[in-house]
Structure 1
Amino acid sequence: MFEYIKGVIDDLTPTSVVVETSGIGYFLNISLNTYSKLSGQKEAQLYLHQVVREDAHLFFGFFDANERGVFRHLISVSGVGANTARMMLSSLTPSEIQTAIISSDVKTLQGVKGIGAKSAQRIIIELKDKLGKDTDISDFSLPQNNTTKAEALSALVMLGFAKNSVTKVIDKIFTANLDASVEDLIKLALKQL
């Protein structure tokens, strides 16, 4: 099992990063929380989680071990896969997820695309005791970055949303929030898609 990777950031998008170390570029799937922490940095150390499937070996990278811990808790729930967990960590901070689970806030979890009432309830039932004991999960603050609608659109399309519907939602949000960062645009769009 891989624990972390340390190297030069070769390419960074809101959904992925390529970290070069020892002449090899590793493609890592990331959340918006990790993206916001990496923005503007040249080098990084990311904690890894590897998903081995029949057709692929995928790496998920996390700026902080606590975010990886929340991710691992989420994927331990039946019906929650790695991409759904990443979507949750892109829509909510790890501490918001923990708070929602501990306080049985189904509505907050349902605000994430792909999480219905039954899934939200299952996540709460299976993780409430585990996350209640996990005191190391800390809040992530998102810095304000000067980004564009195009980056937000690209990230949402890469997450699997239809380009036409994403374009309409992003345009509407951007018109109302001209100073919004790419993270803010994506989070607001995820709530409307």
Structure 2
Amino acid sequence: MYEYITGRIETLTPASVVVEAAGVGYFLNISLQTFSQIGSRTEVKLYTHFAVREDAQVLYGFFSRAERDIFRSLIGVSGVGGNTARMILSSFTAEEVCTIVATGQADVLKTVKGLGLKTAQKIIVELRDKIGAGSAAATYVPVQGAAGETFSEAVAALTMLGFTRQATEKALRAIQQESPAASVEELVRLALKRL
């Protein structure tokens, strides 16, 4: 229904953004990848996916068409909903998802919260021919560290994604000991693999 939305950023969190376009504020669910790419911009163009369910109408926003294409491929797999696909794209970049699928790394994919081994294998089987092409030579290497930001922002981001505060804080403290200079984005990405 909507191809993209261009406008001014009203509010931005690691899980969502409100973009004002032509006097209308659009609430879009975003991945951590899109959050990082928006960065400190005040205006943005986000490619969208509009999902209509029995109980809700949800708008998802993506910084790139490639990320949206991967999202659409993921939700096309039975058992993978919008939130799970967004969680996958918060844990891995679109390129990493392609590599993981192409190389059949179900064990890496199942580290995403809410994704079991069977579903991870199903994603790989169903999408290998669609999104894995051209990535077979590459291998996924987990992200290790980055430059620093705040613990409380990472906690807020993870609790918005549905994790309990206690588990979130415990995971983030452990990650901060290993990578004291990690940014909010890195803290959240690494925590998503542990929680």
Q: Shared fold (TM-score greater than 0.5)?
A: yes
Name the SS for the 1:79 alignment partner: coil
Secondary structure of the corresponding residue to residue 19 of structure 2:
strand
Alpha-carbon distance in structure 1 between the residues aligned to 2:50 and 2:38: 20
RMSD, aligned α-carbons: 1.6
SS of the aligned residue for 1:178 comes to coil
Greater CA drift, 72-81 or 145-154: 145-154
For 1:123 and 1:181, locate their aligned partners in 2 and report how far apart those are by CA, in whole Å: 30
CA positional deviation for 1:147: 2.7
Structure 1 residue ranges, 4+ long, deviating more than 6 angstroms after superposition: none
Q: TM-score, normalised by structure 1?
A: 0.91
Q: 103-112 vs 59-68, which deviates more? A: 103-112
1:149 to 135, 148, 151: 151
1:139 alignment partner in structure 2: none
Superposed displacement of residue 128, structure 1:
0.6
2:131 equivalent to 1:131: yes
Equivalents in 1 of 2:73, 2:22: separation in Å? 31
Deviation at 1:176, TM superposition (A): 2.8
Deviation digits for residues 53-107 of structure 1 (CA, Å, limit 9, x no counterpart): 1221110000000000000000000000000000000001111111111111111
2:65 alignment partner in structure 1: 65
Once residues 121 and 10 of structure 1 are traced to their aligned partners in structure 2, the CA distance between those partners, rounded to angstroms, is 39
Question: Structure 1 residues 134 and 24, CA, compared in 2 at 3 Å: closer, same or farther?
Answer: farther
Length-normalised TM-score, structure 2: 0.91
Q: In the aligned structure 1, how far is the partner of 2:156 from the partner of 2:28?
A: 17
Confirm whether residue 178 of structure 1 aligns to residue 180 of structure 2. Answer: yes
* 2:114 match: secondary structure: coil
Structure 2 residue runs without a partner (length 5+): 136-142
CA distance in 2 between counterparts of 1:156 and 1:102 reads 29
Distance (Å, rounded) in 1 between the aligned partners of 2:94 and 2:162: 22
Percent identical residues: 51
What SS class does the counterpart of residue 18 from structure 1 fall into? strand
Range that drifts further, 37-46 or 166-175: 166-175
CA 1:134–1:15: 2 relative to 1, 3 Å: farther
8 Å contact from structure 2 (residues 149, 183) kept in 1: yes
2:140 — aligned with what?
none
**Corresponding position of 1:77:** 77
Number of positions where the alignment pairs a residue of Structure 1 with one of Structure 2: 186
In the alignment, which residue of structure 1 is the partner of 2:164? 162
Cα distance in 1 for residues equivalent to 2:128 and 2:97: 11
Query: In 2, Cα distance between the equivalents of 1:104 and 1:182?
Result: 29
Q: Secondary structure at the match of 2:132?
A: helix
- Which stretches in structure 1 are left out of the alignment for 5+ residues? 136-141
Equivalent position amino acid for 1:148 in 2: T
Q: Compared with structure 1, are the counterparts of its residues 70 and 93 closer, same or farther at alpha carbon in structure 2 (3 Å cutoff)?
A: same
